[in-house]
Every structure is written in structure tokens, then in C-alpha cells.
Amino acid sequence: MPGPVGEIDTNRSVCFNGLVPPTRRPQARAQRTRQQIIEAAATAFAARGFEGVALNDIVRASGLTKGAFYFHFASKEELALAAFRAKQEELLGHLTGERALAGTGAGQGAGALEALAALLRRRAELLAADPSLRCVTRLGGDLMTRHGPGSEFEEFQELALDLIAGLLARGQREGCIRRDLPPRQTAETIFAAIIGIDQLSQLVSHGEDLPQRTGELLGLLIPALAAPAATAADLPRNRHYQ
């Protein structure tokens, strides 16, 4: 059962290959080394994608011997999954930690539809501001086509899907979101649309126009999700709604 964002253990299959160092101190040092490798790899994958990164370059930059490196990550695929997961958790951790979920500084009372809009806008801002976070969009796009049903990468998507589905269900209880929409399937459609704008933005502008595309997506999503009873005054403000 997954815990809350930020507490999820990602070491299941990609860390240490089942070998446990004998004492605590080496373990702590190994953990730091692992984090440093992941950080460097995330920045490289975010800039050049899966194919554009040579594992040998990451090994060389780590300052480790090949043997020591492979103790942490047995393959580029393992390293890519770990880098994606770390940056996905970091991005979602920022979003939930900043209480964007509760609306733009307006507390829980702001409504789930406003919270969802604020979440997507803030996501685009964070991705624009921190190049290493674009590991989630650029490397995520590559991994999306490399993995299939039943894969660990497929399971990684649950974190984002749970977040969106939870907001939709909350909005339905509050009355601001259409009750005829099944939260889980609708979350998958919204998530797919986000993946799509990530990739189109990467193709046409190296990701730079993501904040604008996010605004345009919200211009369609908000009226699509809003319950019929919601008046114009209840709708989140957006450039299509000002």
C-alpha cells in the first residue's frame, strides 16, 4: 500500500540489488553516493533524453569505479527508472507540500476544481524553473514508450493518478465537479492530456511553452469538469475566463 507523497520507498528493485552493507556508516555513505548519482543522471536525462545519455559518461562523472557504480545501478534502464521516480516524488512533494492542493493560498475552502487548476499551473512553473525536474517530462516520455503493462514504470503513474482522482472525488462531494464523471477514469484522461502537452511542448519549444499550454488545457478542462450548477463566479480564474 503506497504511503503519502514523500514517504514512498523507491528502493524496491533499483537499489543495492539486495546486498546490504554490513555497518550503518557505509550504508549512509552509499545512500549519499546513490543520491548524487541520481541527481546527476536526472539532469542529464532531462536535457538529452534516454537515448542521448551514455551510461559511461554518468559513471565517469560519478568518480566511482565501474564496479562501485554497478553496485548501485546495474543498467541505464535501472538508473533511468530511479531518476524518474526521484524527480516525480520531488515534483509531487513540492506540489503537495506547498499546499497547492488546498488552492492558491486560499485554504481548503477554495474548492477542488480551483485546487486542481492551481496544481497544474504550479507544476508548469516548477518545471520551467528547475531543469532537473524536466526529467519527469522528457525522460518520462521516453520511458512511456519503452515500458508496457505490468511494468514498474506503469505502477509509478499511480502517484499522480491518485492525486488527481482524489481531487475529483473531493470536488464531487463539494458539488463543484460533475458527478457523472468516474473519478479514476477521468483522472486518467486528464493525466493523459498532461502527458500530451508535455510532449508537444518538448517537440515544438523544448518545453518552454508548457506554462502557456497548461493555461490552454485548463481553458478546456475547467468547463468540462464543472458541475452544471456551478456559476461563472465559482469557476477558477483562467485566461479564457477572465
Tell me which residues touch a second copy (CB under 8 A).
49-51, 138, 141-142, 144-149, 151, 153-154, 157, 180-181, 185-186, 188-197, 199-200, 202-206, 213, 216-217, 219-221, 223-225, 240
CA distances from 72 to 8, 19, 198, 230 (A): 19, 10, 30, 52
What are residue 226's DSSP bridge partners?
A: 177
Tell me the residue type at 124.
Answer: A
Beta carbon of residue 81, minimum distance to a second copy (angstroms, whole number):
14
Beta carbon of residue 149, minimum distance to a second copy (angstroms, whole number):
6
Q: Max Cα separation, the chain? A: 64
Instruction: Indicate the residue among 122 and 213 with the shorter CB distance to a second copy.
Output: 213
Beta carbon of residue 172, minimum distance to a second copy (angstroms, whole number):
14
Cα–Cα distance, 74 to 54 (Å, whole number): 14
Task: Please give the grid coordinates belonging to residue 172.
Answer: 464531487
Instruction: Indicate the residue among 55 and 64 with the shorter CB distance to a second copy.
Output: 55
CA distances from 147 to 32, 68, 125, 143 (A): 28, 27, 28, 6
Instruction: Indicate the residue among 52 and 97 with the shorter CB distance to a second copy.
Output: 52
First to last CA, the chain: 42
Beta carbon of residue 184, minimum distance to a second copy (angstroms, whole number):
10
Instruction: Indicate the residue among 38 and 218 with the shorter CB distance to a second copy.
Output: 218
